Structure 1
Amino acid sequence: MRNGSLLAALTVTSCLALSPALAQDADVGAELYTDYCAACHGVSGKGDGDMANVMTIPSPNLTLLSKNNDGEFPMLKVIHIIDGRTGLRAHGGPMPVFGRLFTSDGMGPENPYGSVLEVRGRVLSVALYLESLQE
């Protein structure tokens, strides 16, 4: 019985320890989204950003990603779009238009935006934020 109580306590503690990290990721993601994505995709993610009027290809409503994917958020696809692996044409070439902020091969003078892990953290934070916007 004692081992069961200890296991339960460790499980609860682990869950509580993860909660601030997830909240922080969402906060970081929200800030990155506002700074780099909202101009085209809109503050609310509905594709109505200030730049949407001048774009030749309509900016998608990012709040419908889950709905358009049988109710499941397409996390891997979203990550690949953000980090440029899909080369989405609407962005004038590889996404994002912000260069190496969301892509990285390593640190050094040729890459002032940080390590691969930092960049992947940014991408994941934005993806987690977009997941939170789903209708």
Structure 2
Amino acid sequence: MLVRLAVAVAIAAGPVWAQDTGADEGRDLFLYFCAECHGKDAASLGPMAEMMALRPPDLRQLTERNGGEFPIEAVAKQIDGRQPVAAHGDMPVFGPSLDEDQYVAMALPSGQPMMVPRSLHNLIVYLQSVQSHQAGAE
């Protein structure tokens, strides 16, 4: 019973906290871990992209490529290495770099909570924020 209550509180508090700091902290993580390949604007035009066998995907189009819904679970699993995608190319697994003691609940489209390290949560929040900017730009 206490575990269910703790998860419910974490889910309820998580989105409010994420709106305040998640995207900013996630952008910093993105620039540190991801921009070399995916570009500073997440458009796949990082300095390493030309040297890769497969071009990194444009991360601003994740929602569009997923039928209009941001694929939270798939993004989390690919970043932390739980679901490596061979067709993606040479993406390193960042799970160990993003692992920490503080976990945050993210609500999946089904409503099911998914617990992820706070840093991974922030990175996902940033990627979600990039989706809305891309949709308005085109």
Same fold (TM over 0.5): yes
Separation (CA, whole Å) in 2 of partners of 1:79 and 1:45: 16
Match of 1:47?
44
Match of 2:97?
101
Find the partner of 1:117 among 103, 107, 111: 103
Identity score, percent: 31
Give the secondary structure class of the aligned counterpart of 2:41.
coil
Q: Which has more strand, going by share of residues? A: 2
Match of 1:34?
31
Q: CA deviation at 1:24?
A: 0.6
Separation (CA, whole Å) in 1 of partners of 2:103 and 2:80: 13
Q: Which runs of 4+ in 1 moved over 6 A?
A: none
Structure number with bigger Rg: 1
With CA pairs under 8 Å and 6+ residues apart, which has the higher RCO, 1 or 2? 2
Structure 1 unaligned residues grouped into runs of 5+: 1-13, 105-113
Separation (CA, whole Å) in 2 of partners of 1:91 and 1:126: 20
Alpha-carbon RMSD across the aligned residues, in angstroms, is 2.7
Residue 92 (structure 1) aligned with residue 90 (structure 2): yes
- CA distance 1:33–1:56, shift in 2 (3 Å): same
Q: CA deviation at 1:20?
A: 5.2
- CA distance 1:37–1:58, shift in 2 (3 Å): same
Structure 2 unaligned residues grouped into runs of 5+: 1-11, 105-115
Separation (CA, whole Å) in 2 of partners of 1:28 and 1:81: 19
Q: Is residue 18–residue 125 contact of structure 2 (8 Å, CA) maintained in 1?
A: no
Separation (CA, whole Å) in 2 of partners of 1:46 and 1:86: 22
TM-score (norm 1): 0.69
Equivalent residue letter for 1:73: F
Separation (CA, whole Å) in 2 of partners of 1:28 and 1:91: 26
